[in-house]
Amino acid sequence: MKHALPLTALSSNITDNNKMPESQTEIPVDELSPEQAETELARLASEIAGHDRRYYQKDAPTISDAAYDALRRRNEAIEARFPGLTRPDSPSRRVGAAPTSGFSKVAHAVPMLSLGNAFDAEDVAEFFARIGRFLGLPETDTIDVIAEPKIDGLSISLRYEGGNIVQGATRGDGATGENVTANVKTIAEIPKTLRGQAPDVLEIRGEVYMGRQAFAALNEQREKDGDAVFANPRNAAAGSLRQLDATITALRPLRIFCYAWGETSEMLADTQTAFLDRLREWGFPVNPFAGRCRGVAEALAKYDEIYAARAQLDYDIDGVVYKVDRLDWQQRLGFVSRAPRWAIAHKFPAEKAQTVLNEITIQVGRTGALTPVANLAPITVGGVVVSRATLHNADEIERKDIREGDTVIIQRAGDVIPQVVEIVLEMRPSSSKPYQFPTTCPCDLRTPAFREPGEAVTRCTGELACPYQQVERLRHFVSRDAFDIEGLGEKQISAFFERGWVKSPADIFDLQKNDSDREPKLRELEGWGDKSATNLFAAIEAKRTIPLERLIYALGIRQIGQATAKQLARHYGSFSRWQEAMHQATMERSGNRLETKKAETVGEAYAALCDIDGIGIKMADDIVAFFSEPHNVAAIEALGDRLTIEEAAQPDTSSSAVAGKTVVFTGSLETMSRAEAKATAEARGAKVSGSVSKKTDYVIVGADAGSKAKKAQDLGVAILSEKDWRALIGG
């Protein structure tokens, strides 16, 4: 058995761009237990978030689109089988990544969302069926869609006022992008003044790309000039558009296809088809393959047509997008989390390759998860050279009988490091032996590694005594979506930890105060100087004021991602109220450790925590477990003493009669589907619950209402008919 790299070597070999996930399994979705599914969803949320940062912020994706889509597809399949385990920070509820520094920020008036994915004809058929169910259409009705190639480029928003371009912005995290106005004005195909009549305010969206021939010529010239070449046209387009010097952008052969809109001062059309016609009239390039398809069969035929033409195109595409043609239907369908219900991307398949697995090593994550890593003979897959692959966990190694020295088939459907799909048994060396999964952590303490019954993950039992876990938690604390302290990344955290300067999050904010008493001082270390030390201290000081949601996320509580942290912050409002409620919930749960599915039997604070949308008992227990550890409580209190923690911003639902109300739907509704009813309620600031309690404000009853209606009557909760509900929310 091979041991893990020492801490310093590990941190230099597995960076933020190619770090293995903490836990992962490729057990077929239909064979996952609820516990395994929960662990897998947590792993996927973290892994996909890392890819989003590399793609949207750094223009440096480390996996192919097909590989990325495979991750999302697995996440969606697990959520479909276990809908109750869907995480608030699930990739299905998130798009993009926060914009980087260097450009001013632009808040999108209408969010720039992503798309759900389909991977085969069955997925496409289900997309059409799902639309029909949501809208309550007869099965005989035909749903028309617009089909168009999915361009592999950089999403852009173009704002026009009075017919003149006034702003260009990247997508960023969907809510906030980067102001690249000067750069987009250099792209010849983007009209600076619109032709004909246009709304006073018009935001057009499209994809900036670089043609293959232009890309090849650019790389040839860069190679002659001794400059680094771009990995692919998408990277070249993104890097060119995001130049701080617009004169450089002007020299790059960028192009654009437009296909959507954001904020407008008037209705643009009745159908997607008519909107594309208006785009052409205004002077925007529209992809020539875009066309209307009647039903599933025509949509799939269009997919085949575009796929067949793919190799002859001068631009990269990675699938076909279908959009419901009727705009009134689009409006009714609305959005779910990160994507519209009325559109989907039918993606092209992934790539595989064969190589040799030289060695298996172990990596330890911040929650103590031991993840086996396959070190491969370097191989090119999908245009990217890879040399490491995840082996997920002990079960995966045993199930596939993966051994050192095996020839393996890999697929880039995992992190920067692909997954091992299968072994080539006939090429196995005669001297090979089954891999023995370690029973101790590879850290210096050699603490026992334990696997909870029903879990796929083996964890180090050393908790915060384990240096691997300590460093990983600190790295998470300063990561981009947490405190995001400029100049304080993984390398610096590891170095400060090894010197004993930073052992807990609060130590970061004491770095400058304690530096005067140290020998050597920070500025005297190799790679540092007066300016860099001063800049770091200033960056730390700048983060002494932090939103509550970012603090909660930064703590690294198991299962608590960005979306859940935001929900907790909004629910409790302030740091003190959240802290007090968590302490109370912890005391209630510690006094009642019986396995129960009725949170209200534990205590009021614990029940309130479980009742927050998307949390439930399992996630609540992870939060309670975090607050049960005295060192965690001490760390939070120390941060509270050093920081100004901003209260959570609440959404403006002042005009809604149901904002802040808890509602329950029961029975069959006549004028809208259950999904549409829930989406409508949530859009108006209401919380939709699946159970009736004394805290429920309204129960909306349809035909064949059952026990929920009776319980509402017993508790004295207001009962509304579907007609009453529609009148209450304004139609």
Cite the active site residues. Answer: 150
Give the integer Cα–Cα distance in Å for 455 and 36. Answer: 5
Give the integer Cα–Cα distance in Å for 436 and 2. Answer: 10
Give the integer Cα–Cα distance in Å for 348 and 289. Answer: 16
Peptide bond into 520 cis (omega under 30): yes
Give the integer Cα–Cα distance in Å for 241 and 237. Answer: 6
Token pair, residue 672, equals: 């809208």
- Whose tokens are 């790309």? That residue is 209
Question: Which residues have C-beta within 8 Å of that of residue 322, sequence separation ≥ 6?
Answer: 124, 127, 145, 146, 147, 293, 299, 343, 344, 345, 346
How many residues appear in the chain?
731
**50 φψ region: left (φ > 0), alpha (ψ -120 to 50), beta (else):** alpha
Give the single-character DSSP code of 522.
G
Question: Which residues have C-beta within 8 Å of that of residue 542, sequence separation ≥ 6?
Answer: none
**Under a CB-based contact definition with an 8 Å cutoff, are residues 21 and 390 in contact?**
yes
Give the integer Cα–Cα distance in Å for 18 and 15. Answer: 5
Sign of CA dihedral 8, 9, 10, 14: positive
Q: How far apart are the first and last CA of the chain?
A: 66
**Under a CB-based contact definition with an 8 Å cutoff, are residues 662 and 690 in contact?**
no
Token pair, residue 58, equals: 């750094």
Give the single-character DSSP code of 271.
B
CA distances from 518 to 314, 491, 499, 522 (A): 60, 20, 11, 8
Give the single-character DSSP code of 109.
S
Number of helices (H), then strands (E), in the chain: 26, 26
CA distances from 83 to 34, 38, 41, 548 (A): 11, 11, 11, 28
